[in-house]
Amino acid sequence: MRFAGARIDLVAGCAYSTFELALLYGWFIVAALPFIFVYYTINTIFRCCSDAESSMFVIATSSLINIIIDPIFIHGFGPIPKMGIVGAALATVLAYIYAVAIGIYMLCNGLKFKISRFTFLALPYRKGDYYKYFVRIPYWKFHFERGGIKIVFGRLFKPDFYILVNYLRIGFTPTVTQFVGSSSQIIFMNLISNFGQSVVTAFGIGGKVAGLVNLPLLGLQQATSALVGQNLGAKKPERSEKTGWYSVLIGVCLGFVMVVVAYFFAPQIFWIFNKDPAVIAVGKSVFALAMIGNMINAAQWMLWAVFEGSGYTMWPSIFGQVNNWLFNILLVYLAVKVFDQGYVWIFYIGIFSAIMSTITNTFLVRKGSWKRARV
């Protein structure tokens, strides 16, 4: 990892002190990779069984633990010493370990997390054969119950090679895609570093905010993937396609809300994270453009969920990477290095790349080959 990290340092263009901190953090994350893989597997099992509440419970509680212990480990508290970047990494690793432990316990015991809605107080009235309410005050009960998917731990040591081959066949293309996509982001950060620390900081803040606002889109994408797979399994491909298009509509609407928020409140949002006027000025000039690209990307993310749910991932992945390198990385390189354009052109190109990805995914969904994919 030390050798690879040094090469990444050169490509990404980060300062040596930043590189050393990133490398230290990376050692902990690499050591925790087995837990991270199992964490994502557990949540995928819950979602594919239409048990989104259990998946939400594992994610939410592990995230809450991370949020609580992160500042304690970073800054120190009582007998816990100040650990800095090591504390941040350790908090993340412990949160993953907790998520894996609680997830395996639930799966081995057939438990699922439920949120039940009850009525605390209501003023009903009858309309035809149904009752409706003038006023209804609900409350919710959170509890575990049996009846969820149950795994037998001993069978994990009796592998089904047919299933394993299918795992490799379906997962190979997204794995390569993720690796190539991550590599492109390193080059992308190198290009951004040409504009100075204020722009790099603004990009970092924008990325964090985008990650937060994209959480509903991520949940929608995961739900879409599960529903598409279930409907295809029920021999109802038309419902699968309809699910995809409805998700596109919802995703674009959510993205549009963020465009409006970014247009009017970008300075205030960036001020929360950094008081530097230069950073706030950069955020004000490009955040709305970033959210426009995010809104368009929401459409292609939902269309990608259709492919993910059907197992038809090879051609969408290939087209996606061609678009990423040809219409995004290459054009940004030409704009920054050859034509000496400002950083705002990175966002113009990002919008163009998002449009091209959406057009490509739309064509593949309409073509319909994913409906005939066999897992």
pLDDT digits (tens, 9 = 90+) for 161-213: 888 887 787 777 777 777 776 777 777 778 888 888 888 888 888 888 888 78
Residue 208 phi, psi dihedral angles, 5° rounding: -65, -45
Please give the pLDDT value at position 264: 93
- Pick out the chain residues at pLDDT < 70: 1-19, 181, 373-375
On whether the CB atoms of residues 312 and 231 are closer than 8 A, the answer is no
| Rg value, the chain, Cα | 23
- The reported pLDDT for the residue numbered 262 is 92
Q: Which long-range contacts (CB under 8 A, 24 or more apart) does 363-367 make?
A: 364/303, 364/307, 364/315, 364/316, 364/319, 365/241, 365/244, 365/303, 365/306, 365/307
For residue 20, give the nearest of 10, 6, 33, 30 by alpha carbon: 6
Per-residue confidence (pLDDT) for residue 255, from 0 to 100? 93
Instruction: Please work out, in degrees rounded to the nearest 5, the angle formed at the alpha carbon of residue 96 by the alpha carbons of 92 and 100.
Output: 170
DSSP state for residue 338 in the 8-state scheme: I
CB 219 within 8 A of CB 254: no
- What does each C-alpha distance from 254 to 180, 227, 310, 330 come to in angstroms? 28, 20, 25, 30
- Quote the CA–CA distance of 238 and 113 in Å, as a whole number: 31
Give pLDDT tens digits for 240-251. 999 999 999 999
Amino acid letter for position 141: K
* Nearest C-alpha neighbor of 228 from the set 359, 375, 60, 355: 375
Cα–Cα distance for residue pair 58/53, rounded to 1 Å: 9
Tokens of 82: 């100040």
Delimit the domains of the chain by residue range: 2-112, 168-372
